[in-house]
Amino acid sequence: MTGRSPLITLNNGVKMPALGLGVYQSSPEQTVKAVESAIAHGYRLIDTAAAYLNERQVGEGIVRSGIKRSEVFVTTKLWISDYGYESTLRAFDASLRKLGLDYVDMYLLHWPVPSGFEATVASYQAAEKLLANGRVRAIGVCNFSAKHLENLIARAKVVPAVNQVEMHPFFIQRAVREADTRHGIVTQSWSPIGGVNVYAPANPNAVKNPLEHPVVVKLAAKYGKTPAQVVLRWHMDHGLSAIPKSVRSERIAENIDIFDFSLTTDEVAAIDGIDSGVRGGPDPELVDTRLFNFSI
């Protein structure tokens, strides 16, 4: 697999680009062009989900790009309304049809749903079957805490290859990253530059956007990069995978132009130091079909 991003070797030997394009909240109309643009700019990882309602357009963008199927790493996710063994297999078939693909590189469970964890385990066991049958190349999870991972791994045959979680300078998830590392799981960052952030500090004058934080702004000036590029480089220097979302071609190009510099250990630590401990997205402990009561 070629492209501008370095590759990360997953715990089953499959290689995945470290940086990819996310398409969360990209409209169907925008998604096709965003995927085409990303591939043209050297992206080789595209991340979508059944719940994003744009799998069909991701597939169309891949076709329009002219790239060989083997040269692009495609991730999609199972939505919580389809949890359960047989319903997972049906939902996977639906995703594959929409994508127009013969296989998926990575299949992820979208949330742990701790209030209905038996169904979560059943879904993961279905994903293990898809892996054994060669219909997916790797399987993993999203938004799992250390406790969720322990509970799943205790009942699984295959350790997840990836745990995709909210991760940005204001929410650095140290405990989750440490748990992932213990199990040989790659931590993948959604909202990597903090777009999800709704940080509301007690001090109303505090910086609310990590891209405007003085630590990040100063490093951007030092390296002649944008604050977003510095933050994405921070993910890379932590050994993480990241899937920044954009539908603008110029921003898509900017986000992958981060492999000509690196941050020092002290600079990585300085960005770590602006962690607020406040998540911007939903609390995984609370996500279930009552909170998100829609089906795909």
Residues annotated as catalytic (active site), given as ranges: 52
The enclosing H or E element of 38 equals helix 28-40
Cβ 255 vs Cβ 43: under 8 Å:
no
- Would you state the structure tokens that stand for residue 8, as one six-digit string? 């990360």
CB-neighbour burial class of residue 280 (10 A; exposed 0-12, middle 13-18, buried 19+): middle
Cβ 55 vs Cβ 100: under 8 Å:
no
How does strand 186-190 pair with strand 45-47?
Answer: unpaired
Cβ 17 vs Cβ 162: under 8 Å:
no
Side chain identity, residue 74: V
Cβ 104 vs Cβ 75: under 8 Å:
yes
